[in-house]
Amino acid sequence: MLPEPSQLALQYYPQPILRIKAQPIEAVDDRVRELAGRMIELMVEHEGVGLAAQQVGLTVRMFVADVPEDPEAPPPPAPAMGSEPVLTSTTGPEVYINPVIEFVDRQVTPFNEGCLSLPDIRGDVLRPETVRITALDRDGNTFTRVGAGLLARCWQHENDHLDGVLIIDKMNPGDLRSNKRKLAAMER
């Protein structure tokens, strides 16, 4: 049973729901669309580039993202002849339902990540630079995209949330140590 959109609220570490593995959405209906709309509102309100279901109290496989173009980022790798274009931003807020991520290449890069559910916690996380995502949109249609840079990072970060995985699980050990006191305070 899915809750009313008005019941959604941002969940902070160490809320147990952040550690739950979310279940696939069986039908993309009006309630799912309303919840996605509310998630986009909450993402904008909290100035995030992505927000996953568990972060608003849901346990379904859905996240939203709105990743702006970064003018300082290096250009994405050019697609080989005949292959898919590589995106680095969204064209506005997007909904990803039942997403599946595949790695396109083996190159991994560190990037300083934060998370709306872990305020003031930041640290380097290693992730593949370019990934392919396949998901359903808010109309229930399947789409596939290849992303790099911040977009690929956002997809992977939000997809991790759907499996109950947080940045503190993947963070560079030195960065994790320097966040230890703040995390302990949140756990109290």
Q: 63, 162 in Cβ contact below 8 A?
A: yes
Structure tokens at 81: 């002849």
Q: Among 98, 82, 81, 104, which Cα is nearest to 151's?
A: 104
Between residue 122 and residue 181, which ones bind Ni ion under the rule CB under 5 A?
Answer: none
Q: Which stretch binds Ni ion (CB under 5 A): 22-30, 107-115, 144-152, 175-183?
A: 107-115
62 binds Ni ion (CB under 5 A): no
Q: Which stretch binds Ni ion (CB under 5 A): 63-71, 77-85, 108-116, 122-130?
A: 108-116
Q: Which stretch binds Ni ion (CB under 5 A): 5-13, 30-38, 61-69, 114-122?
A: 114-122
CA distances from 175 to 31, 36, 49, 154 (A): 40, 33, 22, 19
Measure the CA–CA gap between 35 and 29, rounded to whole angstroms.
10
Active site residue 113: no
115 binds Ni ion (CB under 5 A): yes
Work out how close the CB of 80 gets to Ni ion at its nearest, in angstroms, rounded to a whole number: 32
Binding residues vs Ni ion (CB under 5 A) = 115
**Active-site residues: which are they?**
158
